[in-house]
Amino acid sequence: MSDETTNGAAAPAQQDAVGPAFTVEKVYVKDVSFEAPGAPAIFNEQGQPDLQLNLNQRVQRLNEALFEVVLGVTLTCKLGEKTAYVAEVQQAGVFALVGLEPQAIDVLLGTQCPNILFPYVRQTVGDLIQAGGFPPFLLQPINFDALYAETLRQRQAQGNDADAALAAPVGNA
C-alpha cells in the first residue's frame, strides 16, 4: 500500500485496467447568494408568495476522464410586486468517467450527476431561506431524466450530436 495520499486523483487511471467506471471525486458549493432587498419591512407584508424557479446545468471537461458539473438554482419569491428574497446556489461536482462511450458519458452527465448534486443544492437553498428569516422551503424533486430526454429532442432538432454537446449545457429548465 502506498504512503501517498492522492485524494482520488489516481483512481481513474487505476480503474482503466478493470473496465468502465463512474466515480464522484468532489462535491462542493461553487457560488451562493441570498438577498432580501425589502427586509425588514417585507416580514410584515401579507399575501400569497409567488415563487419562480430557474434551474440550469453546465458541464465542463477538465481532462480526458474528469468533468465538472454545476447545477444552478435561482429561487425568487415575490409578495405582490415586492421581492421578498432571491436565493442563488451553484452546487458543483467533479466526476470521473473512465472507459465509457461518448453517449454513455453524456447520459451520466445529464442525469446521474445532477441527481447526485440535487440533495446538496436543496439543503443549501432551504438553509439560506430559513437563515434569511423566512418560512422553511423544501425544493421539490426534479426529474433529470425527463429534462435530459427533452434536451436530446432539442439537440436532434438542431442536428447536434452527443460529442459536440459534452461542453454545452445539459438539461436546462
Task: Tell me the per-residue pLDDT of 133-149, one tens digit each, with 9 for 90 and over.
Answer: 999 899 999 999 999 99
* Domain boundaries, position 81: 31-165
Residue 104 lies in a domain: yes
1 pLDDT band, cuts 50/70/90, is very low
Residue 91 lies in a domain: yes
pTM: 0.80
CATH code assigned at 130: 3.10.420.10
Which helix H or strand E contains 94, and what residues bound it? strand 82-98
Residue 20 lies in a domain: no
**What is the end-to-end Cα distance of the chain in Å, rounded?**
46
Which helix H or strand E contains 28, and what residues bound it? strand 21-35
What's the 3-state SS for 37-77?
CCCCHHHHCCCCCEEEEEEEEEEEECCCCEEEEEEEEEEEE
26 three-state secondary structure: strand
pLDDT at position 63 is 96
Q: Is the pLDDT of residue 161 over 60?
A: no
Instruction: Give tens-digit pLDDT for 27-79.
Output: 999 999 999 999 999 999 988 999 999 999 999 999 999 999 999 999 999 99
Angle at CA of residue 28, ends 119 and 71, nearest 5°: 55
Which helix H or strand E contains 33, and what residues bound it? strand 21-35
